Each structure stands twice: as C-alpha cells, then as structure tokens.
Structure 1
Amino acid sequence: VLSMGHASMLLYSLLHLTEVRAVNKDYETPGEVSVPLDSIKSFRQLDSRCPGHPEYRWTSGVETTTGPLGQGVATSVGMASARQWLAARYNRPGFENLFDFNVYAMCGDGCMMEGISNEAASLAGHLRLSNLCWIYDNNHITIEGNTSLAFSDDVATRFIGYGWNVTRVGDANDLDMLCRAFDTFLSTNDRPTLIIVDSHIGYGAPNKQDTSGAHGEALGEDEIRLAKRNYGWPEDKKFYVPDGVYDHFRQGIGRRGKQLRDDWFTQIGEYRKHYPELAEELFRMQHRQLPEGWDRNLPEFPADPKGLATRESSAKVLNAVAKNIPWFIGGAADLAPSTKTRLTFEDAGDFSAENYAGRNFHFGIREHAMGAIVNGMSLVKVRPFGSGFFTFVDYMRGSLRLSALMELPVIYVFTHDSIGLGEDGPTHQPIEHLAHMRSMPGLIVIRPADANEVTEAWKVILQLHHAPAVLVLCRQSVPTIDRAKYGPAAGLTRGAYVLTDTSGTDPEVILIGTGS
C-alpha cells in the first residue's frame, strides 16, 4: 500500500521493472504488461496507466487507490484484519499457511498528521495485528516547508503508546539496517510494527535536496542533470534502463513472486481435495459470488398500520443473510445497539485479538477509520459492512468516496435518517446528507419505506459486485404497507415504482417519497 499516493512513480517504476501483468475485471490475465514504458512517459496525463495517484482497477498491481493522505494506512488495517479472519476460518491442519500474508504500507509525514492514521493505528495496536507493517518515510518536508512549521510529534513514543513495535533506520540508503528492521517485523508476533526511516527528500539533487522544492514541483532539467551527475548516471539519457536491470528484476522479485503464486495455487488445489466445502466458499468469495441459498429464510412482514422502524426490520434481514454468507462481517462505530447491526446468531462472535474468527467487528468511535478499514477488508474479498448514525457520514466521506472510486461492494448502514430521532437535537439530525450521498458518482443509495422494502433493499445490495451501497434507515416506527392493496415491495429493484395509481384517469397530483 502506497499511502503517500503522490509518490506514485515509485510504485509504477517497480511495476514496470517487475513486468506485472494486466488483469481485467473478470480476473483474467490477457498477457500485456500493466505498466509499459510508454505509460511512464505519459505520467499524469489523460488515459495514462500512470495517473497522478495510484488507482485500483485502472493499473494492475495497484492494490488500493490512495491520494487523500492517511487513507492508505487505514485501509491497510482492514487488509491485515481480513487476513487474520481468513486464516482463522480457512487455515487447517496441513494448510496452516494458506493465509499468512503480511501487509506493508508506505507512509509519510502527511499521513502521520492526518487524523485517520491515528484512529487506524490505535485500533491496529488494540487488535495486535502482527501481520501489519507501516514504513514511515521521515523526511521532514511538506509542501509549505519543513514539518517543524506545524508538526512536532514524537511519533515513536506515540506508536509505542498505541501498542506497536517501533524500530528506526537512521539512513534510508543503509540496506543492511533496512533488512534488520524488516527481520524485526517478521519476528514480532504480538503487535504491529512501525519502521521509521530517516531520509532526504530529493536525495542527490544539490540545490533541492531537503527542501520543499523537491516535494510539490518538478526539479527542472538543470537540476535533474546535476542529480544524474551525482549518481554517475548518463546525463543525456531519459527513461534509461541499463543493461541487465530487467533481468535482475525477472530473476529476483519476478521469479520469487511467480513461484509464490504457483505454490499457492498448488496448495489450494490440494486444499480442495481435503476441504471441498471450504474451498468452494473461498472460490465464491474471491470471485464476488454469493453462496447457494444465500437468500433463504429472509423475513417477510405482514401489513401493520403501526409497523416498526426500518432499522429494526433491517436487523432481522441482516442476521438472516449473515448466517447464509459465511464471509459477511462488519460492525458499527460503537453504535450497534442503536443501528441494530449486531450479528446475534450462534457462533457469530466478536472479532478481537483473542478471536480473529469473530464476525462482529468493533470499530470503536472511529468513523473515518471505519470507512477505510471496510475498504481494506473488501479488497481482500470478504464482504464487509460498517454502520453509524447518518449525520456522522460527514466524518467518513473521504473513505466512502474511495469505496465508490474503487467500485468496491462495501455496505454502509446508516440509521436515524431524519429529524425523527429523539431528543439529541440538530447536531444529530441529517438534513443535507441524503442529497450529498446521492450526488456521489458510483454510490448506490437506498432509503426503504417499510419493512418489506428493507428485505428487497438487502437483496439488491448483496448482489452488487462493483459498487458500494448506502442503506438509509429510520429510528421511528413506520407502517408496514399492505401489499395486497398497494404495489409489491419488489418494485424497489427498479429504483422507483408506483405504489398506488388513479383509476383510469390522469392524475392531478403526483406524490413522490422515499423512506420515512
């Protein structure tokens, strides 16, 4: 994960040199290289495979979209959590390392300043995610100048307080010291690791090194020539790859990566022989499919003029589908009793450092991190949901927007959808929020009007493969509509439907409404 997404060329150059292959939406590998040299030459230009910030789905090899600082590191917590859950459910005797991958996130000073990184680091430490490593490029420079202008945290002490293992590399070019730091991470099995790497921005550029001039603008032809001279590099060559470099990468990272991939697929083939039902689960999960019978036993609600709140009916539907979809996990930002999103069936359990198999995820009062964490979970192919009060969607808008940009089938359950929420007052009354959500490209927003529309809404949402969805629910009771008299709730699948019509004459007034 490249959390400081503005350094995207670091990632693109490695994807080019390692000759990572392009993969399409159907998980097929056509054969072409993901990042050819021509794409690097068109860096940050329209339609280039090398956009200004890494984009998931657009450039194969990019494992998450990053750009808004802090999002990447928070997303990595979701990835690491999902791996722990996968290992707890699917690793079996003889296949103890089926899921044993580690998650690495590169971050910078900006990520450390953003509030979301604090939320995510706190939770990662609490969960003791020993498969998570953040590498902090500590170069002390941001766009405006030295970080001393606005940032003087003792980052090491802060992370020790979060329960992390912290190690430091005093020189980014000291490969032996870097290797020792990674060995420390790999030998730590009870907490996440932060590696603080002291570095020089613009290293080798004599007039720009250690200045903001090397951060937010091009070095310029003259400075690039001087930097090449410092490196002993041919000054007149551009996009120059010396002889032997491609072979070096093919025989190193390329060969190791291919071997690891081949070994894993061999292992999963053997796993299918020993654990066919679990292997079938894995296949469906990894291909964004639903299990057979996923929609069995969904509740149907009789007509009732008193009815019930849509958050209450959602709780019944949520628990029914979660029992049928084993990789469906999630929780709330400390609001599950209010949003009615706790999984209550037998063996659902709580995800914790002591029980990574639990399916109730406690995000704590960390809405922004919650949004990024469920993105990370989805990137590892589990089906996650996150929940909170609708008014607090403002706290997680950045993460939610990335869900839409990445086309991830993340589910957001927001309740207390209007002024009808009790005595909390205007701070908790969502007024403009529905319009905000509906204006976001790529985001599916559903606000059901009664209990049976809630059931239909969950059916629609769970069948989404490449889009996040927001389910907006009410706190107060609403009537359960008499479907013998009015249009069927299945009309929700069309986005809008006629509930009742005039008897053969043109209407004088058309009433249109949603939700409560």
Structure 2
Amino acid sequence: MNTLETQCITTLRMLSVDAVEKANSGHPGLPLGCAAIAHTIWSRFLQHDPKNPQWINRDRFILSAGHGSALLYALLHVYGYDLSLEDLQNFRQWHSKTPGHPEYGETPGVEATTGPLGQGFAMGVGMAMAERYLSAQYNKEDSKIIDHYVYALVSDGDLMEGVTAEAASLAGHLQLNKLIYLYDDNNISIDGNTNITFTENVEQRFLAYNWHVTRVADGNDCDAIAAAISEAKQQDKPSLIIVKTHIGYGSPKQDTAKVHGSPLGSEAIQATRDKFSWPQSDFHVPQEVKEEMQKVLTKCAEQHNTWQEKWKQYSEKYPECSAKLDAAMHRQYPENWSDGIADIFGEEQSMATRAASGKVINFIAERLPQFLGGSADLAGSNKTDIKSSVDFSVQQQAGRNIRFGIREHAMGSIVNGMSLHQGVVAFSATFLAFADYMRPAIRLAALMKTPSIFVFTHDSIALGEDGPTHQPVEQLMSLRLIPDLLVMRPADALETAIMWREAVTSTLPSALCLTRQGVTPLAEYASAITANAAKGAYTLCEDDNAQVILIATGSEVGLALDAKKKLGEESIPCRIVSMPCWELFAQQSPEYRESVLPNDVPKISIEAGSTLGWQSIVGNSGATIGIDTFGASAPWEVLYDKFGFNVQNVLSTVKQVLGK
C-alpha cells in the first residue's frame, strides 16, 4: 500500500473516531477495522457520481453493519457528497444529517436505513433482483443501459441474524451475480469473542447456499481485497469475501469488545493518533487526500458522462423503452392507467377480497410493466400470480412472479430493497398471522417511507379450521401502531380495487389485509365507495336522524349492513361507516372527519380483531365488538357466531349503548 493510500484510509479512520468522540456516543471499532475495505471498494470499483446521487445505473453500497455509520459518513464526506465536516461534527445530534445509524432520505448517498442487523444484507438482495429484472426488461444486445453491482459491508451480527439465512438462500438460488458482500470477520461482538456463540463454518455455509466464497487474510491489504472483488465480478453467482480484520485497529483497545460500542476516550485517541503518526487536530483531512479524492471524483463524473452518452444513443434508437424506463425510475405512471379498475369484477356475487385482489393484480400488471411480486409459497392462496408472465428465475430474468419460498422475513426486506432501488413497484404476500415474521422489515419500510406493498390474506378468525396458530387477532391493530404505514382492510371487491390503486400511487408503504371467505359485493353502494373509499372512511349508507353509527372494516361491513336492517325493524335509525384505512382517514380535513363521525352520535366498532385502539374512535359513550382472546379451530361461520359476530350481538350492543 502506498503512502497516499495509507493517508486516505487513516483519514477515514480518524474522521470516524473524532465524530464518535465528539458525540460521546457511537461505534469506533468497525471504522478502524474496515476503513481499508471501504476505501478499496469506493476508490477502485464503485460506479457512482456524488453530484448525481440518484443516477439510475450507480452501484449501490450498503453498510449493513449500520452501527459503523461514522465510517459511511466519512466516506460520503471525502467522496464529495453533500455532507460537510460540520455535519460530521454533529454526529448523532438533533436533526443532523449524520444520525446514529444510516437513515435513507436523511443523508445523501445512504442507500438504505440499516442498523437492525441482517436488514441491509437482505435489502441488497432485493436491489440485485431489481437490477436483474430491469436489465432483462430494457437492455439491448448493443446497449447495457442497466448494468451495476450491489456491494455491502456485513458483520458477524448480520450473519447471525435469521433474515440473512433466508435472503442468502434465495440469492444463491437465483444466482444473483451482481451481489458482492464483504464480511468484516473480526471475531468480536458486544458480549466478547464470537466463539461464545458463533462457531459455524461461514465459508461452508455460504458455499451450501450456492455463493462464491473467497478469503482475504489481511483486512488492510487493499490489493488483496481488490483482487477478491475482481474475482467476484467474474462469477455467475453472488459472492461473499471473508476479510480477516481487527476491530479497533490501531487503538489500544484493538481486538476487544471495549472498542465496539463506546468512544475511545482521550488517552486512547492520543495513542491511536501516535500509532498512525496523525496530527493532533480533530477532523483533519490532509490536502493531498483532498487532491486524491478530486481525481476519484473526476473519474466518477467521467463514468456518469459515458453512461449519459450511452443513454442518449439508447433513447434515440429505442425511444419507447427509454421513456418507459425513465418513467419507472421516477415512479411516473401512464395517464389514466387506473381507468376501469373498478369495473373488472363483472356480476360476481360472493367473492373473497383475496380473489378480488388477484384480479386487480393482473389488471395493474397489464398497465404497469414495472409491477411485479410474489408470495411466500402461498401464491395459490394469496392469489398473487400474474397470469401474463412467468416466474422470475435464472432462466427467465424478466419474469414477474417471484417465488420467495417460505422466507417471510427476508421477503419483506427484499421488497424494501427492490423499492429502494427504484424502477419497480414490488409487492409480497403471505397470511396476515405471519406478518409477525415480517415486522422488522415492515417497520423499516415505514421508517424509510419507501412504497413497499405487503399483501396479507386470511385476515381473521374466518380462516376457520386451521385454528388460532393461523388466525390473526392482534396483527391488524399491531400494524396500525407503525407510523407511516397504510393498513388497508377493504370490505368488498370494489373497495379492494380502490385500496390497491392507493397503494400503488402512495409514497408510503401499504399493508393490504384480505379475506379468505367470500364477502357480498356492496353493489348498491358503488357510487359512495367510488367517490369516498380512498378517504379511508366514509358514510356507506344512513337513515335520517341516525341514533347510532356502526363503524366496520373488511368482512364485518356486511354484518353491519345486516344489523342495520334489523335495527330499522325496531325503529332505531343508524349510519353505516366503512373504514378501510385508518391512516388515510387521518389525512382528511377535520371537517370531513367530523362529517363522517360526528362527536354527538354514539359509535360502535365492528372488527374481527383486537379492540385495542378502537376506543379512540368510538369514545367513552361507544362500544367495541371484536376479539381480545385467541381464536379456535372450527368452520368460520361457527367461529363468527361463537365470538359474537352476529346480528343479535350487534343489536344487543346498540341497545346497551343507547340505554334501551
């Protein structure tokens, strides 16, 4: 390694250490140990342009070990992104551009929010899948317009997490050869040496996943790291490069857990500066390093300019393809793309909303070539197959039906990665009860505000005979607890179509919760649904001078309508409100919300799930009909009756609320 390269690496190390020390919080060990790895990737391989951080053909770099964020911020600063020395000095401070873990959307150049271990690893798999799909869709023999790699720096903790096993297995199966991960093999985790918990043979494990695996004996040997990356780029499968490193390299706390999650302290920093013969001033960037980085930035600009020329020629020769790709990357849809979405169900009588969703999926797929997704081995039950396409596979790289296998956790993360990549509208599907397996990924989607779409069928105890292990009770409400997630539970086929339209056009992630059992179409209320369902809640029908409001979601809207008939026979006028999406309703004006749910009218909620949270809507004078226990194994009609989802219980509750 030459002297200038050593200076560049030391700059990254000490900027990271200084940021952690000034904040008195953070993880200096990884930056000290992995700076040479990061420098090698960024200076010799990474195709990017700091002046155009959204360039569609850039390589993606993910710091899956997000606790080492100070290293990523140092990289972004020296490589010319909009991140100043002052930003580094504000590490982990209020509203800074350098939060404790990398946050997508907060910092230019951060490709994904990482920190929950394994998530970056799995999201990178999704990015590689998006790259493959788009390249298969749009590349021509004479022009590879989409042709980039996904790099990630991963840690022992990443590899211990179960989501990594799921994602690695699928990546190997799909032979995602644009995926190159470098493993920081330092033998240290928070509790001490990794041999107390992690003694598996990582190399053999990833070989079994069908990955190319190679080793680098010295994490400071840039030439060896570069050779391993060059070798990885020649493979027909994903690559894991196991790099032997020293956590906290160069500090007195090297190779100990003490350097993992705490600042070095003044004495140890002084010793580290002495080790590297580094000046005493904080946040020091030598002039020669700045000049060297400028050379790299010139190379980056040249790469982008070369691609732009290729794009110009591509656009002239293939104008239709270039227009579609450009629109897809900017999440722009053809005008009137959703026209007719409400008219696709014909005269069907009873239809499960999962079946309606299947029809809508195929409607959307015909109009949006960037729309693709799949199920966790439940496509037949979730109704997710795109009939006009084939499976996404090694042989059919433009296939739009993704077979995720029974890998719900990774499936959610992979869809997030596809959404983050841009150019695709991606969805996943499983049973609602298994949303628990996906919760970390759903939470990250909401935190990143990335428009991932999560389809959940079999949304209540109406799943029936499979029993309480598969019957969601608390899941629906638990999803509503996640900020910035649109949780949608449509009442019939038409509401399902409208909720799908909102999910596809939303800038936030969506969870569609759909029935297994058939529900009666609300055909006579079609005009109200079409006009107002996208507002999240609306008056479906009402009597004059309503004495009570029945608020229902999903399949229970039909029950509310049946109850309304009986209430009419007993001269109790009522209003029926369908509430397919709390979050969309919350976005409406106070005047609209008051018009739908006036404060002075008693309210009763009806939903086959936990009642927790409904009190905020029905108020002290109202009541809730729901399930605050687990379900049971029996035919769904029996379960609904036994758990009080029947007209008689609704009538009794109304009379109790009204004091009759």
- TM-score with structure 1 setting the length: 0.93
- Alpha-carbon shift at residue 288 of structure 1 (Å): 1.0
- Alpha-carbon shift at residue 434 of structure 1 (Å): 0.8
Shift in alpha-carbon separation, 1:485–1:325, aligned structure 2, 3 A: closer
The question of 1:510 aligning with 2:571 is answered no
Aligned residues of 2:65 and 2:115 also touching (Cα < 8 A): yes
- Alpha-carbon shift at residue 49 of structure 1 (Å): 0.7
Within the candidate set 406, 412, 415, 1:371 is matched to 412
Distance 2:309 2:448 in 1: 30
Distance 1:486 1:165 in 2: 57
- Alpha-carbon shift at residue 377 of structure 1 (Å): 0.7
The question of 1:101 aligning with 2:144 is answered no
The question of 1:154 aligning with 2:215 is answered no
Within the candidate set 243, 248, 271, 1:202 is matched to 248
Question: What residue is the counterpart of 1:480 in the other structure?
Answer: 521
Aligned residues of 2:484 and 2:508 also touching (Cα < 8 A): yes
Amino acid of the structure 2 residue aligned with 1:199: T
The question of 1:213 aligning with 2:261 is answered no
- Matches of residues 222-233 of structure 1 in structure 2 within 5 Å? 222-233=267-278
Question: What residue is the counterpart of 1:448 in the other structure?
Answer: 490
Question: What residue is the counterpart of 2:571 in the other structure?
Answer: none
SS at match of 1:512: strand
Question: What residue is the counterpart of 2:653 in the other structure?
Answer: none
Shift in alpha-carbon separation, 1:309–1:459, aligned structure 2, 3 A: same
Aligned residues of 1:486 and 1:500 also touching (Cα < 8 A): no
Give 5+ residue unaligned stretches, structure 2.
1-61, 556-660
Distance 2:535 2:129 in 1: 36
- Alpha-carbon shift at residue 319 of structure 1 (Å): 0.2
Within the candidate set 420, 423, 447, 2:465 is matched to 423
Question: What residue is the counterpart of 2:320 in the other structure?
Answer: 277
Distance 1:352 1:482 in 2: 40
Distance 1:111 1:80 in 2: 18
- Alpha-carbon shift at residue 302 of structure 1 (Å): 5.7
SS at match of 2:141: coil
Give 5+ residue unaligned stretches, structure 1.
21-33
Distance 1:169 1:482 in 2: 66
Question: What residue is the counterpart of 1:28 in the other structure?
Answer: none
Within the candidate set 62, 71, 75, 1:10 is matched to 71
Distance 1:103 1:141 in 2: 26
The question of 1:340 aligning with 2:383 is answered yes
Question: What residue is the counterpart of 1:124 in the other structure?
Answer: 171
Worse overlay, 291-300 or 260-269: 291-300
- Matches of residues 155-194 of structure 1 in structure 2 within 5 Å? 155-188=202-235, 190-194=236-240
Shift in alpha-carbon separation, 1:128–1:485, aligned structure 2, 3 A: closer
- Matches of residues 282-301 of structure 1 in structure 2 within 5 Å? 282-300=325-343, 301=345
Within the candidate set 84, 89, 96, 2:132 is matched to 84
Distance 1:483 1:135 in 2: 59
Aligned residues of 1:297 and 1:320 also touching (Cα < 8 A): no
- Alpha-carbon shift at residue 120 of structure 1 (Å): 0.5
Within the candidate set 338, 343, 351, 2:392 is matched to 351
- Alpha-carbon shift at residue 297 of structure 1 (Å): 4.2
- Alpha-carbon shift at residue 291 of structure 1 (Å): 2.2
SS at match of 1:487: helix
Within the candidate set 270, 273, 282, 1:238 is matched to 282
Distance 1:283 1:131 in 2: 22
Aligned residues of 1:143 and 1:215 also touching (Cα < 8 A): yes
Give deviations 1:404-434, integer Å, cap 9, x for gaps.
1111111111000000013110000110111
Amino acid of the structure 1 residue aligned with 2:403: H
Question: What residue is the counterpart of 1:498 in the other structure?
Answer: 539
SS at match of 2:350: strand
Distance 1:243 1:462 in 2: 49
Amino acid of the structure 2 residue aligned with 1:170: A
- Alpha-carbon shift at residue 257 of structure 1 (Å): 1.6
Question: What residue is the counterpart of 2:37 in the other structure?
Answer: none
Give deviations 1:60-104, integer Å, cap 9, x for gaps.
100111010000010000001111111111001321x21110110
Give deviations 1:458-479, integer Å, cap 9, x for gaps.
1211211x20111110000111
Shift in alpha-carbon separation, 1:240–1:313, aligned structure 2, 3 A: same
Give deviations 1:306-340, integer Å, cap 9, x for gaps.
52100011111110111100010100111110000
Aligned residues of 1:45 and 1:51 also touching (Cα < 8 A): yes
Aligned residues of 2:525 and 2:540 also touching (Cα < 8 A): no
- TM-score with structure 2 setting the length: 0.73
The question of 1:250 aligning with 2:294 is answered yes
Question: What residue is the counterpart of 2:373 in the other structure?
Answer: 330
Within the candidate set 448, 472, 485, 1:406 is matched to 448
Distance 2:397 2:340 in 1: 27
The question of 1:362 aligning with 2:403 is answered yes
Shift in alpha-carbon separation, 1:177–1:485, aligned structure 2, 3 A: closer
SS at match of 2:520: strand
Amino acid of the structure 2 residue aligned with 1:514: T
- Alpha-carbon shift at residue 303 of structure 1 (Å): 6.8
Measured on the aligned residues, the alpha-carbon RMSD in Å equals 1.3
- Alpha-carbon shift at residue 51 of structure 1 (Å): 0.6
- Alpha-carbon shift at residue 489 of structure 1 (Å): 3.7
Within the candidate set 500, 507, 510, 1:469 is matched to 510
The question of 1:307 aligning with 2:355 is answered no
Question: What residue is the counterpart of 2:635 in the other structure?
Answer: none
- Alpha-carbon shift at residue 36 of structure 1 (Å): 0.5
Aligned residues of 2:525 and 2:541 also touching (Cα < 8 A): no
Give deviations 1:217-238, integer Å, cap 9, x for gaps.
111010010011111112x211
Aligned residues of 1:70 and 1:116 also touching (Cα < 8 A): yes
Within the candidate set 88, 103, 106, 1:40 is matched to 88
Give deviations 1:115-148, integer Å, cap 9, x for gaps.
0111011110000111101100000111111101
SS at match of 1:427: coil
SS at match of 1:250: helix
* Structure with bigger gyration radius: 2
Distance 1:360 1:302 in 2: 25
Distance 2:359 2:347 in 1: 16
SS at match of 2:428: strand
Question: What residue is the counterpart of 1:23 in the other structure?
Answer: none
Distance 2:205 2:97 in 1: 37
Amino acid of the structure 2 residue aligned with 1:472: C
Aligned residues of 1:447 and 1:514 also touching (Cα < 8 A): yes
Aligned residues of 1:303 and 1:481 also touching (Cα < 8 A): no
What is the identity percentage for the equivalent residue pairs of Structure 1 and Structure 2? 47
Q: How many residues align?
A: 492
Give deviations 1:191-234, integer Å, cap 9, x for gaps.
1110000000011112x110000101111010010011111112
Amino acid of the structure 1 residue aligned with 2:425: R
